[in-house]
Chains A and B, each alone.
Chain A
Amino acid sequence: MAQMNMKEAIRDALRVELKRDPNVIVFGEDVGNVGGVFRATEGLQKEFGEERVFDTPLAESAIGGLAVGLGIQGFRPVAEIQFVGFIFEALDQMFVQAARMRFRSGGRYNAPIVFRTPFGGGVKAAELHTDSLEGLAVQTPGIKVVVPSNPYDAKGLMIAAIRDNDPVFFMEHLNLYHAFRAEVPEEDYVVELGKANVVREGSDVTIIAYGMMVHTATKAAEELEKTKGIKAEIIDLRTLNPLDIDTIVTSIKKTNRAIVVQEAQKTSGVAAEVIAQINEKAILHLEAPVLRVTGPDTVYPFAQIEDTWLPTPARIIAAVNKVMEF
């Protein structure tokens, strides 16, 4: 089995699908000739030609509209928005036009589109290149939201997203592109959308996270086990919409305590939604309130204080201690 980092795994997924299905088309700013600013699509234009993998003029709304139009024509567009802060220029096409296509055409048309974008922080990038805007996406009816945390999932989720007949917002944490390598099968396989994954088993507390925070939570969990013998179970959500509440409830029935970790700002986001659903489905299994570890409700900061702005293992440990001692 090949060793790949997350970027290579995503590229491999695109290659598998470009090869398998002639309707798959990959485009965006700089994705063709050089393979994107992160080189996630490197080599694909050479392999599949300029009609299937190409650079667009610099206009994000048009990238979104192009994807919607090609979707109507039966293609499966994989459209890259270069950095997460740039999706604001494309929001109408992504969250309105693509998300409403099936509904407003009575099912005559759909939007089998994957909108890829790097997101998240911690790489000291320029302003508006880093942020976590999944909260906007999960509030939008009609679009699925996927966030992989490792190379294996990234490939399987990307293949599933491309084959899905509805629009998918595929958010790739830019700090994970090169973070580590892992075994990734070379053949095609699917990681089903809408299914969370228990990445660490434990009996004392459930930590719910996604993207980079799965790794930050893992560090915290290892520390908690070493220093206090607390066994934390970690759930990687993988898909934020639809949310796999069943896996969360099953875990809470075992641990009776939970915290939710997200990089995004605190209010009204994914963590808030997870807690609301726990409240609806598992409140009688809880021994303590479910706490959130998140960024503060500010704009995403300039690089200098990024590392303290983002949730740290120390803040996760503090939250776990609070729910354990409640």
Chain B
Amino acid sequence: MSKVPYEVYTEEVEALSVLSPDGEIVNEAKMPKLTDDQLKEIMYRMVFTRTWDDRAVNLGRQGRLGFYAPVSGQEATMVGSEFALEKDDFICPGYRDMPQIVWHGLPLYQAFLYSRGHQEGGRIPEGVNVLMPQIIIGAQILHAMGIAMGYKLKKQKQVVITYTGDGGSSEGDFYEGLNYAGRFKLPVIFFVQNNGYAITTPFAKQTASLSIAHKAVAAGIRGVKVDGMDVLAVISAVQEAAELARNSEGATLIEGVTYRYRPHSLSDDATKYRTKDEEGEWNAKDPITRLGKYLEKKGLWSDEDTARVKEEAKAKVNEEIKKAEQTQKMTVPGLIDSMFEQTPKHLEEQKADFQ
């Protein structure tokens, strides 16, 4: 590698873009290889996810869900990045990343149970390689790094993807995870969904770094920045990163620039820190509208399809929330028995207070 004089590389990087907001392919070279059925499936999942989100917000207001972090606006980064994985790849999500693990195989009613504070929600089925969403920002980055080392030691070809946000990229665990992944050349993808706000704190107040992708440089891993409202760009970047990881070429940090349309959570008020103008600018980049335009031109999608998927999603959400509501309540003795493989005597005795 040639050397530059003692000042470190400090140029801005342009986000990868494949599909323009008008639904035109602007970068043929980076267009992921997808069949028509796959394109329709991606659209299906994004429309489904938005409808699920709309319904979940209502369910939250009715008190039928507990903590819920809305996802609308981030369908391209969430659905796209998961779509680019193999079924047996592993996902370590942050707290907002329920769509990825549901599309990876976690039953929807379990996502609702988790939100309702029921332990059964976290009982991940065999064969579904996910962790439940992590609440401590950044902790999951280290788990992903460790799970990736496991694959490497077992000489298996799976990759691990982990998610955090622009706020999460300021955590110490973020830097530690990237550094270990670089040092041990691990098959892991660190996907940062930069949605512009860590609850209320804007990205401009989060870091002086030119981008989050730049933070890969210090760890000696690849860093890429993508248009996170462009699902094809997201899939392209994740497929490329996964292939490198599978070929023992190490980790990639992907920054997807996106926006959450709704507040941080159901108890947050975004009007206190964002303007209507800004929200309008992002609405114009909407990932679902954008892919819809492209697919309509190809004759693969119509408004009727969107309407049909919405109805399907509503019916599915109704069915799954009922299933969640009908699940037998947790008990304290049950909780006690989930602490250790064998419940020690003192805990066994403590059950008596709850029977």
Contacts and interface: CB of A to CB of B under 8 A. Distances in A.
Interface string A52-96: 000011010110111111111111000000000000000011001
Interface centre among B132, B143, B151, B154, by most A CB within 10 Å?
B143
Contacts of B32: none
A112 to B, nearest CB: 9
Contacts of A142: 339-340
A65 B344 contact: no
- Chain B interface size, under 10 / 10 to 19 / 20 to 34 / 35 or more: 35 or more
B291 to A, nearest CB: 34
A9 to B, nearest CB: 25
B289 interface: no
B146 A65 contact: yes
Given A106-B120, A106-B338, A110-B341, A68 B179 contact: no
A62 B131 contact: no
Interface stretch (B80-88, B121-129, B194-202, B300-308): B121-129
Contacts of B341: 102, 110, 164-166
Contacts of A69: 142-150
A61 B119 contact: no
A70 B136 contact: no
Given A72-B150, A104-B132, A65 B176 contact: yes
Interface residues of A, number: 42
A276 B345 CA distance: 16
Given A65-B143, A65-B176, A105-B131, A92 B136 contact: yes
B228 interface: no
Contacts of A93: 139, 142
A65 B131 contact: no
B153 interface: yes
B136 A73 contact: no
A57 B179 contact: yes
A20 interface: no
B229 to A, nearest CB: 31
Interface of B: 119-120, 122-126, 131-132, 136, 139, 141-151, 153-154, 172-173, 176-177, 179-180, 183, 335, 338-341, 344-347
21 contacts: A57-B180, A59-B180, A61-B172, A61-B176, A62-B180, A65-B142, A69-B142, A69-B148, A70-B150, A73-B147, A103-B119, A103-B122, A104-B119, A104-B132, A108-B125, A141-B339, A142-B339, A144-B340, A164-B341, A165-B341, A166-B341
Sorted from nearest, which 3 A-B pairs have the closest CB atoms?
A69-B146, A65-B142, A106-B123
Interface of A: 25, 51, 56-57, 59, 61-62, 64-75, 92-93, 96-97, 102-110, 141-142, 144, 164-166, 194, 242-243, 245
